[in-house]
Amino acid sequence: MSGKYGKVYLIGSGPGDPELLTLKARRLIDSAEVIVYDQLPGKAILESMPASAEKIDVGKYAGNHTMTQPEINELLVQKAKTGKMIVRLKGGDPYVFGRGGEEAEVLVAAGIEFEVVPGITSAIAVPAYAGIPVTHRENTSMVTFITGHEDPTKQETGLDWEALAKFGGTLVILMGVKMLGRNAEQLMKHGKDPSTPVAVIERGTRPDQRVTVGTLLNIAELAKERKVKAPAITVVGDVVNLHAILGEQKVETEF
């Protein structure tokens, strides 16, 4: 590692409620000289970035990539080479569908020191705020996290739908709004009971979070009627029934 180079902190900002930001993340954000961010951390956290820092939005919006991943990697390397302290701010946890691992590998290859600051992942916190524990002794002690946005026209899918349909635990699907119908169909086609409870939680832990509950059979239709939009988490499994008992958690922070 070169002493001339700055250090890069890959920071997870949590799912949106600013009070779910870790103390370590807060301290590092407040002392950053450069912050490379996208929109997922949410308005409240982005507005709390220090005025003194250089702020670079590399935000990737569905269908409108402002910067490609290789460009972001290169930017981190170039900024670190100026000797400054860099924060790469990401929603949730940097290593859970956050491409933080790829960025860390690039930094290591370039001889730049880095540190990861884990964040509270939306995969767990968003269902929690919706009254859905992802495991529960009486329902399931298994949970799996998958990405739901694979292109259905792709010949090779990274997801083994047959295994997922047989999996008795909770499925937590990130990035799956557009493919909700296709994903539900895949699970049913491979034998998952169509009456399996499903919840889609939009903008979880934020003041305007919204929960839509249905079954594998009707969730796509319900989501269409309610114009469900990203960012959203889909939970499939019996734990969804706990939503009716535990209820939705009010987001207390004003933001």
Ligand X SMILES: C[S@@+](CC[C@H](N)C(=O)[O-])C[C@H]1O[C@@H](n2cnc3c(N)ncnc32)[C@H](O)[C@@H]1O
Contacting positions for ligand X (CB under 6 A): 15-16, 40, 90-93, 96-98, 121-123, 126, 174-175, 201, 203-206, 230-233
Contacts of 26 (CB under 8 A, 6+ apart): none
List 38, 79, 93, 192, catalytic entry: 38
Q: Which residue is nearest to ligand X (CB)?
A: 92
- 57 is annotated as an active-site residue: no
Rounded least distance, CB 149 to ligand X, Å? 7
Rounded least distance, CB 182 to ligand X, Å? 16
Rounded least distance, CB 42 to ligand X, Å? 7
- 193 is annotated as an active-site residue: no
Whichever of 46 and 174 has its CB closer to ligand X, that residue is: 174
Contacts of 175 (CB under 8 A, 6+ apart): 97, 147, 148, 149, 230
End-to-end alpha-carbon separation of the chain, Å? 40
List 17, 90, 93, 175, catalytic entry: 175
b/e map 194-230, b = 16+ CB within 10 Å: eebbbbbbbbbbbeebbbbbbbbeebbebbeeeebee
149, two tokens: 């946005």
Whichever of 16 and 18 has its CB closer to ligand X, that residue is: 16
CA angle 128, 136, 159 (to 5 degrees): 75
List 7, 24, 55, 60, catalytic entry: 60
Rounded least distance, CB 83 to ligand X, Å? 28
Whichever of 6 and 176 has its CB closer to ligand X, that residue is: 176
- H helices within the chain, ranges in order? 23-31, 43-47, 69-81, 100-109, 122-129, 161-166, 180-189, 219-225, 242-246
- 175 is annotated as an active-site residue: yes
Rounded least distance, CB 113 to ligand X, Å? 22
Whichever of 5 and 120 has its CB closer to ligand X, that residue is: 120
Question: How far is residue 220's CA from residue 178's CA, in Å, rounded to a whole number?
Answer: 10
Whichever of 93 and 103 has its CB closer to ligand X, that residue is: 93
**Whether 8 contacts 86, CB under 8 Å:** yes
Q: Which residues are catalytic?
A: 38, 60, 175
